[in-house]
């Protein structure tokens, strides 16, 4: 008898999760589904929760759906806790996207300085929920989608010391599905040497039925989430690098192009967060229609394609011990030989009953290992700066980040971020 709790249940993505849970309810013996959100967002939460309830009722699957503002009620006895909350809401995201731009830096919700601000808002919220998970849940698996997913997973697993933590992103499942389509094969026929951090990963090798097909990727593999401008990596660059970078790496490898694109977009139609605000209004109008009882196609305008499928399949496979491969954020534990065991990395693992085993992938490539170490150090400086309320560590983190400011802008940017995040990032 399983209980799943979704923190940030008022997300407009929730109907997709519900669809995923309905599909697996029988195999995992799902009995209770709890949606938790903030009282201050009761209007949006009410619309989403009512719609979710209609979906569950239509499926007639014997699952009870509850919505609540009380964390204890939602977390008590839970077997899975999904983090889907957005700290500071879309307003916070828009600030993350716009403030760095004023300093000539990439403004992105998960990458660079925007991602840092988002993480700093998330840490105190996570401390509160993880404490409840430790004491009240049924040794629940925490499945963290909240962004920046990799850094938050580092925080929960390595600093709050919560063992059953998995960080998820929808990009890896899209990679696996795209490879299946490209090569016309089953997922179990694919071996992929995929590694890095969340939104900072590379594919170094793809074997299909034991044959190396990596060179076929440069021309034929195109995967770009809806939220990132579709400026492709130049073909000759991919051939030279010999690795396929995550689309978020355009912010690192093509900073000038992406910055120009962001500045133009901000003038023309606003940042991605502002576009998402409009999509959200459209979705909520649809969800509020009492005759709607299935996920509308308009949800596909969001960047999180297949993200609920990733969650539902992972939960299913953890409960059943399916021995399938999933690419998740978890401790390295030898997967990439030249990185420490306790690095939280985005890597393939085999899912066993109530556990995961990393695939041993050998060493990392010299062209990318340095960047991985730099960003991991950045993550840890930010986390330790938060825990010790030591601004110097945060200034160091900003300075070592390739998308961060040079010295003259470190202080003004840090002060601007603190001012914009008053109430979420206090005590420094
Ligand atoms: P959203 O703005 O709709 O936020 C979801 C809900 O979180 C809202 O209803 C909000 O009220 C609630 N919330 C905010 N603070 C909370 C708190 N302290 N406690 C409980 N609830 C709280 O966001 P969204 O667009 O649905 O995205 C949700 C999160 O999932 C974001 O962090 C987003 O970046 C992330 N996401 C991640 C992936 C991935 O690949 N990792 C994919 C899709 C979405
Ligand atoms: C991508 C990322 C997610 C991110 C989402 C944003 O797919 O993997 O981590 O949350 O897109 O999409 P949005 O529609 O909110 O811009
Ligand atoms: Mn992601």
Contact 144, 168 (CB under 8 A): yes
pLDDT on residue 348: 98
**Cβ(295)–Cβ(15) under 8 Å?**
yes
Per-residue pLDDT of the chain (428 residues; tens, 9 = 90+): 899 999 999 999 999 999 999 999 999 999 999 999 999 999 999 999 999 999 999 999 999 999 999 999 999 999 999 999 999 999 999 999 999 999 999 999 999 999 999 999 999 999 999 999 999 999 999 999 999 999 999 999 999 999 999 999 999 999 999 999 999 999 999 999 999 999 999 999 999 999 999 999 999 998 888 899 888 899 999 999 999 999 999 999 999 999 999 999 999 999 999 999 999 999 999 999 999 988 898 888 888 888 899 999 999 999 999 999 999 999 999 999 999 999 999 999 999 999 999 999 999 999 999 999 999 999 999 999 999 999 999 999 999 999 999 999 999 999 999 999 999 998 98
Q: What integer pLDDT is reported at residue 342 of this predicted model?
A: 98
Atom of ligand 2 nearest to the CA of 145: 9
Rounded Cα distance between 321 and 428, Å, is 45
Residue-level pLDDT at 230: 82
Ligand 3 center to 407 CA (angstroms):
30
d(CA 406, CA 326): 38
CA geometry: angle 374, 379, 382, nearest 5 deg:
120
Query: What is the complex's ipTM, to 2 decimals?
Result: 0.98
Let me know if 251 is a catalytic residue.
no
Nearest protein Cα to ligand 1, atom 39: 169
DSSP, collapsed to helix, strand or coil, labels residue 274 as helix
Ligand 3 center to residue 399 CA distance, Å?
A: 24
The single residue listed with the structure tokens 């299935």 is 294
Query: What length does the chain have?
Result: 428
- Ligand number, closest to the Cα atom of 149: 1
Ligand nearest to the CA of 299: 2
User: What SS3 state is found at 247?
Assistant: helix
Helix-helix angle 89-102:255-268, to 10 degrees: 120
Q: Look at ligand 1, atom 3, and give the residue with the nearest C-alpha.
A: 11
Residue 399's Cβ-count burial label (10 Å; 0-12, 13-18, 19+) is middle
Expressed in angstroms and rounded, the spacing between residue 376 Cα and the centre of ligand 2 is 21
């Amino acid at each position: 008898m399983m209980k799943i709790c979704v923190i940030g249940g008022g997300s407009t993505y929730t109907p997709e999760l519900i669809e995923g849970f309905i599909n697996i309810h029988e195999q995992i013996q799902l009995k209770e589904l709890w949606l938790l959100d903030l009282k201050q967002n009761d209007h949006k939460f009410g619309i989403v929760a009512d719609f979710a309830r209609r979906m569950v009722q239509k499926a007639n699957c014997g699952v009870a759906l509850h919505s609540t503002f009380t964390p204890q009620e939602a977390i008590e006895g839970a077997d899975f806790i999904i983090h889907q909350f957005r700290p500071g809401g879309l307003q916070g995201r828009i600030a993350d996207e716009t403030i760095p731009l004023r300093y000539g830096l990439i403004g992105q919700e998960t990458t660079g300085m925007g991602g840092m601000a988002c993480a700093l808002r998330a840490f105190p919220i996570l401390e509160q929920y993880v404490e409840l998970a430790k004491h009240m849940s049924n040794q629940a698996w925490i499945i963290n989608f909240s962004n920046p997913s990799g850094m938050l997973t580092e925080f929960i697993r390595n600093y709050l010391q919560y063992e059953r933590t998995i960080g998820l992103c929808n990009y890896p499942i899209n990679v696996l599905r795209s490879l299946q389509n490209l090569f016309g094969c089953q997922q179990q026929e694919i071996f992929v040497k995929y590694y890095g951090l969340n939104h900072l990963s590379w594919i170094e090798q793809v074997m299909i039925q034991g044959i190396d097909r990596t060179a076929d990727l440069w021309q034929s593999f195109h995967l770009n989430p809806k939220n990132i401008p579709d400026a492709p990596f130049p073909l000759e660059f991919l051939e030279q690098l010999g690795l396929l970078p995550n689309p978020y790496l355009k912010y690192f490898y093509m900073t000038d192009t992406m910055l120009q694109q962001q500045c133009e977009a901000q003038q023309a139609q606003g940042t991605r967060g502002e576009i998402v605000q409009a999509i959200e209004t459209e979705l909520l109008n649809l969800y509020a229609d009492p005759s709607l009882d299935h996920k509308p196609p308009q949800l596909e305008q969001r960047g999180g394609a297949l993200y609920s499928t990733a969650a539902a399949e992972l939960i299913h496979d953890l409960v059943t011990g399916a021995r399938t491969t999933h690419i998740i954020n978890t401790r390295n534990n030898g997967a990439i030989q030249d990185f420490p065991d306790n690095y939280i990395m985005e890597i393939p693992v085999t899912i066993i009953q109530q556990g995961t085993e990393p695939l041993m992938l050998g060493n990392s490539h010299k062209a990318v290992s340095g960047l991985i170490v730099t960003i991991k150090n950045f993550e840890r400086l930010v986390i330790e700066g938060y825990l010790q309320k030591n601004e110097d560590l945060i200034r160091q983190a900003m300075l070592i980040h390739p998308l961060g400011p040079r010295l003259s802008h470190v202080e003004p940017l840090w002060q601007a971020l603190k001012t914009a995040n008053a109430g979420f990032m206090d005590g420094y």
